[in-house]
Structure 1
Amino acid sequence: MRTLMLATLLVLAGCTAPLGTDAPPTPTGSCMEEPKPTPTADGSDVDAQPYPDPPATFSTDSVREYVEVYESALLRNDALAGQNLSYLEVYVEDLSVTRRGDMYVVRLQSYTNGGYYEREGEGTPIVVHWDGAPTPASYLVTEDRLVRAESDGDDHVSLARLRNGTTLECF
């Protein structure tokens, strides 16, 4: 009987850890920003979008709003880098925010649709249009930085990939 109880305890020992205890993806080292897309096309019909300032205080709602506006600016400015666009739509969807201690992990999907008119020669301009595919991305918002990582083909970004993501802002 003792052997059965001991065997049961050993088998169940790995099942007693609380769910969702992944270590927070704390970035280490000094904060160094990577370059962000900067619109360079001066003949575009679409305006660039400024990157937002971080919220004065962090909460689930303020972080959600900050990341949604930031992702929109990032995609818009990236699409405008080197291209003259006639129209552009930016979509940021399926946001979920999880607080991990004093940090926040934000998961989302985003994409752009847009196009331009080729106006070479005379006659009817040709419309060149694209529909972007939704891309899963995640943000890590800490007291001193904003980090972003995209999925590598899965429907989500792993915490390890996010930990090594691109630092976009240092606060």
Structure 2
Amino acid sequence: GAGATIASAITYMTEKKLSGNSDSFGKGDIRGVAAPEAANNASACGSFIPMLTLGVPGSGTTAVMMGALTLYNITPGPAMFTEQPDIVWGLIAALLIANVMLLIMNIPLIGLFTRMLTIPLWFLVPAIAAVSAVGVYAVHSTTFDLVLMVALGVLGYILRIT
């Protein structure tokens, strides 16, 4: 119930300690990616438990979900099971269906996902930047947002190389 960020961090540290060669972590060792991602996916459903039973968000995602429910005058917590059982069981069913659909879609698409890793950076970076710029501009339709996006991107790049 602590959320994906904590689960991923703990799993990464545990996997690094349990591996015989911890120097390879952070340099492309697949175990450093696979273990945290498995924990990330597993914790998604678990973070809903404190929200539904106690009214306390288990992650950032469930905090946003609590905000959305509150906007519709639905108070997450123990009373939600008696006052809004259709919403509770709808959420649980949606999580179950989503996991099954991910399994059904991901197995045949593994080849495509692995080929996407071979896309060169000279193509990928401008494509992501263009899609990001369109998304940023679509929200408020102001050039200030685009300039802010570029400025923060440059700042992030400078911080990364130093």
TM-score in terms of structure 2 length: 0.27
Q: Which has the larger radius of gyration?
A: 1
**How does the TM-score come out when normalised to structure 1?**
0.26
Q: Which has the higher contact order (CA 8 A, sep 6+)?
A: 1
More helix by share: 2
Q: When you count strand as a share of all residues, which structure comes out higher?
A: 1
